[in-house]
Amino acid sequence: MAAIVLAALALGFLTLDLGGGSLRSAHSGVRGALGSLYRGTDAVLGPTRHFIQGIPSAGTSHSRISVLRHENAVLRGKIAATDADRAAHAQVARLQLAATSGGYRIVPARVIALGPGGGFDWTVTLDVGTGSGIRVDQTVTDGAGLVGRVLHADASSCVVLLGADPGSGVGVRDLRTGQVGVATGRGSAGFTFVPLDPKAVIRVGDRLVTGPTGSTSFAAGLSVGTVTAVRTSADGTTTATVRAAVSPTSLDLVGVILVGGQPLPPRPALAPAAQANR
Amino acid sequence: MSAQRGSAALAAMITALLLQGTLIGPLATAVPLSLPAVLVAAAALVEGPTTGMAFGFSLGLVADLGSSHPAGILALAWLSLGLVCGLAGDRRTVLGDVVIAAVCCALATLFAGLLLAVVHAGGATAWVAARGALPAGLGDAVLALAVIPLVRGFLRTETLRARRGLVPGIDLGTPRG
């Protein structure tokens, strides 16, 4: 009996959520609470996670050389930063370059959690929120490539729907031909690109970027990926397989592109170099 | 249910979701490992189907509301997981319980994936759900090796041990383990 009641309750929640926005505030409240808890937990568990993630590459000669070089540098007193700090520094430099070249204002953010659904969600939680100027639908980048868009934001964290999400579609342009189309996420397998013009000539190696402005909800000009295979169906429709420019499973430091006159955030945003020098 | 057991259940739920989001999930991106699902299975194996169902439903609903997919998917999947594990547990050997937990978690992953495909959430398909079930079961077996003895130990302490129903009419399940 209890099983039937609970199952009916679960189906009731499912129906309510599918039927409209009845549970939107409940989703928002739980996401906000979990986001705040993730933030605190990541401060404690983050170093452990980084250590474990580094174990698979510890045996390779490349990483061994890096470790030895690092130790040598530490002994000489020339380098004080850890590998993680250096990677973060390099990533911030990439974000700064993106801000400068694209004319964007970018808020750097760190990935603090993946979706809590046990692998069902292609979402990540970032450690910045509305207090830093983050708003829903803003574009997230790793400096050059498209990461995703902000799905939900609360005061101190936000949830990002990755471009690789199988339900996501990204408006893109082929840099070689200028053809526009839609790239649909395929998880860790990249994207599937379908040009709007079915007769468009797409080649292996073509690079796809977001855009054009106005036809997509993402900031224009971000790299989406590279075409690795092209298929033409019997009716002449062209479909391309695309290797993603950004690996959705190895995200760490990313940047949220601020758009549309947002209030100045407490966390300093990376402004284009020309503005920063003024 | 005593206040201690309620508080312990709440603490376990939050801890499992936080560890899933910040440690297990990021470290196991290729395989959909689920610490909360293993925890539901472990609790059901020790405490029986009634506690397993209630715990699975509650934990699933919180995970659903914190996710981008429609609420109710994981609640239904983990409710079923708690029920089946509670009924199927042999409660004699840890290894036997680990095997049962792994199989049930794989089936729950498959069930949740198929539900997502039915409601067209997140671009899920039946093929993706079927493909992920076996690796999820194997990964969850490894998690269960650590989680089941821990849960058994906790639930057998004097504070958290389930008491026989003082009022027979509301004694929904027989404490086990």
Would you state the pLDDT for residue B84?
A: 92
The predicted structure's pLDDT at residue A72: 78
The better pLDDT of the pair B17, B89 is held by B17
Would you state the pLDDT for residue B170? 43
Q: Residues A60, A154: one domain? A: yes
- For CA atoms A69, A71, A72, A74, the dihedral sign is positive
pLDDT band for position A253 (cuts 50, 70, 90): confident
Predicted pLDDT at B172 = 47
- The CA distance from B69 to the nearest CA of chain A, in Å, is 7
pLDDT number for residue A92 = 72
Give the pLDDT mean for B37-46: 92
Q: For residue A29, with 0-12 CB atoms within 10 Å meaning exposed, 13-18 middle and 19 or more buried, which class applies? A: middle
ipTM value:
0.78
A229 in the same domain as A146: no
- State both tokens at A273: 């170099």
Q: Report the mean per-residue pLDDT for chain A.
A: 79
The 3-state secondary structure of A29-42, one letter per residue: HHHHHHHHHHHHHH
Q: Which of A168, A149, A162 has the alpha carbon at shortest distance from A122?
A: A162
Q: How far is CA B167 from CA A3, A257, B163, B164, in A?
A: 21, 60, 11, 9
Report A:174-213 residues touching B (Cβ under 8 A): 184-185, 187-188
Task: List, for residues A39-79, the tens digit of each pLDDT value.
Answer: 888 888 877 877 777 766 666 666 677 777 777 777 776 55
Most confident of A164-168, A221-225, A265-269: A221-225
Average pLDDT of every residue of chain B: 82
Q: Give the domain extent around A194.
A: 169-244
Chain A residues in contact with B61 by the CB 8 A cut-off are 10, 13
Instruction: Please judge whether B53 and A3 are an interchain contact, meaning their C-beta atoms are less than 8 angstroms apart.
Output: yes
Do both A262 and A158 map to the same domain? Answer: yes
* pLDDT at residue B168, as a whole number: 42
Suggest the residue from B51, B68, B84 to mutate for an interface test with chain A (most A CBs closer than 10 A).
B68
* Residues A137 and A271 both lie in one domain: yes
- Smallest Cβ–Cβ distance between B72 and the set A3, A13, A184 belongs to A13
Give the three-state DSSP class for B38.
helix
Helix (H, G, I), strand (E, B) or coil at B8: helix
Residues B175 and B164 sit within 8 Å (Cβ to Cβ): yes
CB contact under 8 A, A30 and B62: yes
Where are the extended beta strands (E) located within chain B?
none
Q: Which pLDDT does position A26 carry in this prediction?
A: 85
Contact call for B122 and A13, based on CB within 8 A: no
Instruction: Report the pLDDT value the prediction gives residue A117, as an integer from 0 to 100.
Output: 57
- pLDDT of A240 above 80: yes
Number of domains in chain A: 2
Beta-carbon count within 10 A of B155 CB = 22
The mean pLDDT of A260-267, rounded to a whole number, is 46
The predicted structure's pLDDT at residue B82: 92
Place of tokens 């590279």: A226
Indicate whether A179 and A87 sit together in one domain: no
**Region of poorest pLDDT, from A21-35, A95-109, B27-41, B55-69:** A95-109
Q: Which position has the higher pLDDT, B119 or A153?
A: A153
Residues of chain B above pLDDT 90, percent? 21
Kindly state whether residue A22 falls inside one of the protein's structural domains.
no
Q: How many CB pairs under 8 A join A and B?
A: 178
Which amino acid would we find at residue A32? G
Q: Residues A158, A261: one domain?
A: yes
Q: Which of A18, A53, A121 sits opposite B67 (nearest CB)?
A: A121
What is the average pLDDT across A113-123? 71
**Does residue A1 form part of some domain?**
no
Distance, CA of B17 to CA of B15 (rounded, Å): 6
Q: Looking at residue A238, what is its pLDDT?
A: 86
Nearest CA in chain A to B173: A2
Residue A189 pLDDT greater than 50, yes or no: yes
Q: Which CATH class is domain B3-160?
A: mainly alpha
Chain B touched by A28 (CB under 8 Å):
no
Residue B149 preceded by cis peptide, ω within 30: no
Same domain, A135 and A65: yes
pLDDT in the model for residue B27: 80
In the prediction, which pLDDT does A237 show? 81
Q: pLDDT per residue over B137-151, tens digit each? A: 888 888 889 998 998
Closest of A111, A73, A72, A71 to residue A91, by C-alpha: A111
Q: Residues of B with CB below 8 A from A15's CB?
A: 72
Q: What is the pLDDT of residue A41?
A: 84
pLDDT, tens digit (0-9, with 9 covering 90-100), for B45-100: 988 898 899 999 999 999 988 888 888 889 999 999 999 998 887 667 888 888 99
Q: What is the pLDDT of residues A127-151, one digit of tens each?
A: 898 888 898 888 998 888 899 989 8
**For B29, which of A18, A117, A249 is closest by C-beta distance?**
A249
Name the residue among A10, A11, A52 with its Cβ closest to that of B27.
A52
Question: Is B71 in contact with A23 (Cβ distance < 8 A)?
Answer: yes
CA distance B107 to chain A (A): 14
The answer to whether residue A126 sits within a structural domain is yes
**Residues A70, A208: one domain?**
no
Q: CA nearest A126 in B: which residue?
A: B22
Whole-angstrom distance, CA of residue B76 vs CA of residue B81: 9
Does residue A47 lie in a domain region? no
B114 contact partners, CB below 8 Å, separation of at least 6: B126, B129
Instruction: Give first-to-last CA distance, chain B, whole Å.
Output: 17
- Judge if A177 and A66 occupy the same domain: no
Contact list in B for residue A47 (CB cut-off 8 A) is none
Q: Within a 10 A sphere around the Cβ of A272, how many other Cβ atoms? A: 18
Nearest-Å Rg of the Cα atoms of chain B is: 16
**Nearest-neighbour CA in chain A from B105: distance (Å):** 11
Chain A environment of B124 (Cβ under 8 Å): 120, 166
Query: Model confidence at A229, in pLDDT bands (50, 70, 90)?
Result: very high
Residues of B in contact with A14 (CB under 8 A): 70-73, 76, 119
The answer for residues whose C-beta is within 8 angstroms of residue A251's C-beta and 6 or more apart is: A111, A124, A142, A147
Chain B residues with CB-CB distance to A167 below 8 A: 120-123
Closest CA to A209 of A180, A185, A250: A180
CA distance B140 to chain A (A): 11
pLDDT-based confidence at A276, cuts 50/70/90? very low
In a domain, A14, yes or no: no
Q: Chain centroid to CA A74: how far?
A: 33
Provide, rounded to the nearest whole percent, the portion of chain A with pLDDT above 90: 11
Start-to-end C-alpha separation, chain A? 71
Identify the CATH number of the domain in which residue A62 sits.
2.40.10.340
SS3 A207: strand
Structure token digits, residue A63:
């990483």
Which residues on adjacent β-strands are paired with residue A160?
A124, A150
User: What pLDDT, on a 0 to 100 scale, did the predictor assign at position B121?
Assistant: 66
In chain B, whose CA is at the least distance from the CA of A12?
B72
Q: What is the pLDDT of residue B83?
A: 92
Band of pLDDT at residue B39, cut at 50, 70 and 90: very high
Contact list, B53 vs chain A (CB under 8 Å): 2-3, 6
Residue ranges covered by each domain of chain B: 3-160
Using the predicted structure, report yes or no on whether residue B167 has a pLDDT greater than 60. Answer: no
Instruction: Calculate mean pLDDT across residues A190-194.
Output: 90
Q: Are residues A112 and A61 in the same domain?
A: yes
Question: Shortest Cα distance from B162 to chain A (angstroms)?
Answer: 19
Smallest CA–CA distance, residue B22 to chain A, in Å, is: 5
Could you write out the DSSP letters of every residue in A145-173? BEEEEEEEE-SS-EEEEETT-TT-EEEEE
Pull the structure tokens for residue A126.
Answer: 């970032």
CATH number at residue A196: 2.40.10.350
Is A154 inside a domain boundary? yes
Which pLDDT score, from 0 to 100, does residue A265 have?
46
Q: Is the pLDDT of residue A126 over 80?
A: yes
Element (H or E) spanning B97, and its range? helix B94-118
Whole-angstrom Cα distance, residue A186 to residue A192? Answer: 7
Nearest CA in chain B to A2: B50
- The 3-state DSSP class for residue A229 equals strand
